[in-house]
Amino acid sequence: VRSASDWKRRRQEILELFQANVFGRSPKSKHARFEVFDTDKTALGGRAVRKQVTIYFSAKKDGPKADLLIYLPAGASKPVPMFLTMNFWGNQSVINDPGIRLPTLWDPKTHVRQQASEDSRGRDTEFDVEKILARGYGFATICYQNIEPDFKGGFVGGIRPLFFTRGQSEPAREDWGAIGAWSYGLSRAMDYLVKDKDVDSQRVAIMGHSRLGKTALWAGAMDTRFAMVISSCSGEGGASLYRRNYGETIANLVGAFPYWFSTSLQEFADHTDRLPVDAHELIALIAPRPVYITGGEDDRWADPKGEFLACVAAGPVFRLQGAQDLGTDEMPALNQPIMHTLAFHVHTGKHAVTAFDWDQFLTFADMHLRR
């Protein structure tokens, strides 16, 4: 590969290899339907406009659906750039706002659906919604459980059966896994944002943490409408090099969470060296769009060094397309971000999204999404 046109061809080949061997083949999208059921122009004490939108993934009203929560800075005079995220515990968990509809969620231990409680409001400290709004960005989030419940066999309560062929009851060998389904959910949320005149759909960044960091990377690779991809502590199956075999491994992943991926990945559990792709190629699939990868100092399971090495190895594809890579092959010190088109840092502490992280994400967005 010696030119941008060579890469365009090679990119399709690598995308095909990831679909065949890692994440599975995502089907063509079914037409989603959107119902705006809430608009509050005085949300968060007058600092935001809140919208809530139900996304119906099929023509059936009682079929799979998910609520998309949107906040826009109050008084915005033009369409705003957005951060689109997935959350773990329901939209009500991201901020203590009594106007957010309480969802029905799957319990990963009992596999039973139950109504979220009032005391779950604002329990998730992963998102600094107020800071995002104060910097002039909108914020949107959707709960991944409403796309597909996160447990073995959970696919029956999610969107994947919508795409089964007649008589099919289980995913086939190269069918998409849960990460593919969650990525599909992000793309359907993007379908709505494209229609919303208050949103600048050319400037939507997706952000995810841990398994949802893997999801953000795959969604960014599959859907080029996302202008920026931010992946926090995504580890193995995400931004960390698969063949490094440090911390979590492919064998660990397919042993504990086989349903996240295509069944075909299980064939490489003890033969990672035979995988035809690695994490640096997943990052490269997003180039030349801006990508930010982060890790935690104490999060050896997710292997921050492996994530850094993957960023370095993805660099030539960014350069080939006129974008800036990290510009170094030396691991940066703690809390010392490297920011070009490709960005990386390791924060002090554990497997988490921190206030320091959000400060860097917003600075990165200012570099690439401001007009």
| Per annotation, catalytic residue among 26, 201, 210, 234 | 210
CB 249 within 8 A of CB 236: yes
Half-sphere exposure of 29 (CA within 13 A, CB side): 17
CA nearest neighbour of 178 among 90, 253, 82: 253
111 catalytic residue (yes or no): no
CA distance 214 to 191: 21
Q: Quickly list H helices, the chain.
A: 4-18, 43-46, 129-134, 178-195, 211-222, 250-256, 279-284, 304-320, 355-369
CB 131 within 8 A of CB 358: yes
CA nearest neighbour of 243 among 284, 293, 278, 283: 278
Instruction: Dihedral sign for Cα 356, 359, 363, 365, please.
Output: positive
CB 317 within 8 A of CB 266: no
Strands 48-56 and 291-296: unpaired
CA distance 16 to 106: 32
Instruction: Enter the DSSP assignment of 224.
Output: T
125 contact partners, CB below 8 Å, separation of at least 6: none
183 catalytic residue (yes or no): no
Q: Which neighbouring-strand residues pair with 33? A: 56
Q: What is the DSSP string of 112-154?
A: -EEEPPGGGTT---S--HHHHHHTT-EEEEEEGGGTS-SSTTG
Instruction: Enter the DSSP assignment of 99.
Output: T
341 contact partners, CB below 8 Å, separation of at least 6: 287, 288, 289, 290, 291, 318, 323, 324, 325, 368
Catalytic residues: 210, 351
